[in-house]
Amino acid sequence: MSVPRKPTPTRNRNYRKEYDTHGKLPAQKKNRAARNTARNALAKAGVVRKGDGKEVDHKNMNPRDNRRSNLRVVPKTVNRRRQPKRT
């Protein structure tokens, strides 16, 4: 018999604040553009499609390194697991 978990309190995210403090920084814009470029290159090559549930993973975790040898297609869960340690 399992013990029911207590519901976690829900916090509303302030997306505007997140963008203002992180997303609109010039370095983040360049990283986002590089990730989009990688996805578009593999889509053009026919490796990924819109809505396929796959993501383009940078093997060395550098989003600006878009060499084909550094890119691979993985499921979302695998890509989410491979996050660098945050300090």
Q: CA-based angle 37:16:80, to the nearest 5?
A: 45
Domain ranges of the chain: 19-81
The band of 1, judged by pLDDT with boundaries at 50, 70 and 90, is: low
Burial class (CB within 10 angstroms; exposed 0-12, middle 13-18, buried 19+) of 41: middle
* Distance separating alpha carbons of residues 34 and 40, to the nearest angstrom: 10
**Residue for token pair 């403090």:** 21
pLDDT digits (tens, 9 = 90+) for 31-86: 999 999 999 999 999 999 999 999 999 999 999 999 999 999 999 988 888 877 76
Higher model confidence: residue 50 or residue 10? 50
pLDDT above 90: residue 5: no
**Residue 65 belongs to what H/E stretch?**
none
